Every structure is written in C-alpha cells, then in structure tokens.
C-alpha cells in the first residue's frame, strides 16, 4: 500500500482545459477553432521537447507563441499580431475541468498537501490558478524556470521532492498527459494518469501509471494508496 503524503498535479490539460482557448481560436479561424487549438497544443509541446534537447531553454509562453506562429502559417490564417497576442492571453485564463474545484477542496479538507508542477512560468502558473480562484488550494506552485529545462527532464520532477521535503515514493504525481506521467514514473513517483479523453492506450514505453482515472475526484476513492498528511 502506497503511503501518499502529498499530491503534485500537472497544470495544462490535467487541472485546466487547454482547449478553453478553442473559443478564442474560433474568432480567428471560423469553423476551425478546435483544429487550431489541437494543432497549437501539439506544436507547443513539440517545441518544449526540442528546446530541452537543444539546450536552448526559453519560456513556455514563448514556446506557446512560437507554436501559434507555426499554426497560423501552417493553416494559412489571417491572424495579425494583436489577434495572436489575444490568443496567447487566453492561455492565462483557462477553465478548470468540471470536477477539479470540488476535488481539490476535499483533498484540502483531508489535510493532504497539494502542489502544481508545470512547464509554465511562475507568472503564468500564478495567473491561471489565480484567475480560477484556486490559489489557496496549493502549498506550492512549481515552475520549471529554476532548472531552465522542460518536462520530462528528471530535474523538473525533482522540484517536487525538494519543495515538499519528501521522498518521491510519498508523492503522487497526477497528469492527463501520458508522456508527462511516463516521465514522472521514470523519475520514481507513483503516478495517476487522468485519461480525460478515454484514450485506448497509455504510452508504449515499458511502464504503466500506478492508477488510471477519468477525473481527479477518483483519487479520493482509490484503494491503490493511503492518503495521509
């Protein structure tokens, strides 16, 4: 039985719906808003992986803006600088997934220390969490900025151990991004994959998450671990 003393959440996609920006995308690409949002998210992640491998760190926000420039060109969209800035700003006001606020409140009630560990900058993480009124739910908001490299580099995941002062075996890492849960599991965290879209497979890289759920509320009911502050 795993003795979980803290829970660390990925931000984008896990707690917050990155496709909240699809509405703003629709204004720039009528009828292609979700297509733009999905291509934008994939290219954003690709750019973080490439930047880490190149040893050329820059902010997640810059990677997001660069990815948008790619999408505008790739899809042939007439988006001027102002429209692109408006779209990037939408990433600062993402909606939490429906079950998230109540689940976080219940975890707080049980006294489980919570954190966020994200590729986002310190400023962006604070903006997204603050705009949703959820800042007080977390003991730590952790950005990759101090280590100047993106997930799934192990140096990023180590930030969670350092912040909570706990061994990784006592920290549950929660992500809806299978690649992120794979990286966290490789680092040594027990992992919970939030399979929000009902994907029919996890990553095929030789490991499985400790638990697969459809929403973070299922963390509370799982018998895979004991939750004890």
Candidates 97, 146, 138; CA nearest to 120 is: 146
> Is residue 33 at the binding interface for ligand 2OP, with CB under 6 A as the rule?
no
Q: Is 10 exposed, middle or buried, given 0-12, 13-18 or 19+ CB atoms closer than 10 A?
A: buried
Candidates 201, 173, 188; CA nearest to 7 is: 173
**Catalytic residue chosen out of the listed positions 10, 69, 89, 223:** 10
> Is residue 13 at the binding interface for ligand 2OP, with CB under 6 A as the rule?
yes
Q: Phi and psi dihedrals of 41, rounded to 5?
A: -65, -45
**DSSP code at position 94:** P
Q: Is 10 a known active-site residue? A: yes
Q: Which is nearer to ligand 2OP, 77 or 154 (CB)?
A: 154
Minimum Å gap between C-beta 210 and ligand 2OP is 19
Q: How many contiguous H segments (helices) and E segments (strands) does the chain have?
A: 9, 10
Candidates 83, 94, 107; CA nearest to 28 is: 83
Q: Which residue has the tokens 């995941």?
A: 157
Q: Which is nearer to ligand 2OP, 177 or 182 (CB)?
A: 177
d(CA 5, CA 39): 37
**Which one of residues 5, 12, 113, 178 is an interface residue with ligand 2OP (CB under 6 A)?**
12
> Is residue 182 at the binding interface for ligand 2OP, with CB under 6 A as the rule?
no
Q: Which is nearer to ligand 2OP, 17 or 180 (CB)?
A: 180
Q: Which is nearer to ligand 2OP, 26 or 61 (CB)?
A: 61
Touching ligand 2OP, residues 101-160 (CB under 6 A): 118-120, 151
- Tell me which residues are annotated as active site: 10
Binding residues for ligand 2OP, per CB under 6 A?
10-13, 118-120, 151, 177, 180
């Amino acid at each position: 039985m795993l003795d979980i003393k803290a829970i660390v959440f990925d931000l984008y996609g896990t707690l917050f719906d990155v496709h909240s920006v699809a509405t703003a995308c629709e204004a720039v690409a009528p009828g292609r808003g979700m297509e733009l949002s999905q291509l934008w998210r994939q290219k954003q992640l690709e750019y973080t992986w490439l930047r880490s491998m190149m040893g050329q760190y820059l902010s997640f926000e810059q990677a997001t803006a660069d990815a948008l420039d790619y999408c505008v060109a790739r899809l042939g969209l007439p988006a001027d600088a102002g429209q692109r800035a408006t779209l990037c700003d939408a990433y600062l006001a993402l909606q939490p997934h429906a079950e998230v606020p109540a689940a976080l409140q219940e975890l707080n009630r049980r006294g489980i220390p919570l954190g966020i560990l994200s590729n986002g900058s310190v400023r962006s993480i604070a903006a997204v969490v603050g705009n949703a009124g959820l800042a007080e739910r977390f003991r730590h908001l952790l950005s990759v900025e101090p280590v100047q490299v993106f997930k799934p580099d192990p140096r990023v995941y180590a930030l969670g151990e350092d912040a909570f002062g706990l061994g990784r075996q006592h920290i549950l890492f929660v992500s809806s991004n299978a690649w992120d849960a794979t990286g966290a599991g490789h680092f040594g965290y027990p992992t919970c994959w939030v399979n929000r879209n009902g994907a029919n497979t996890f990553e095929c890289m030789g490991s499985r998450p400790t638990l697969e759920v459809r929403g973070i509320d299922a963390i509370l009911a799982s018998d895979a671990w004991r939750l004890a502050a």
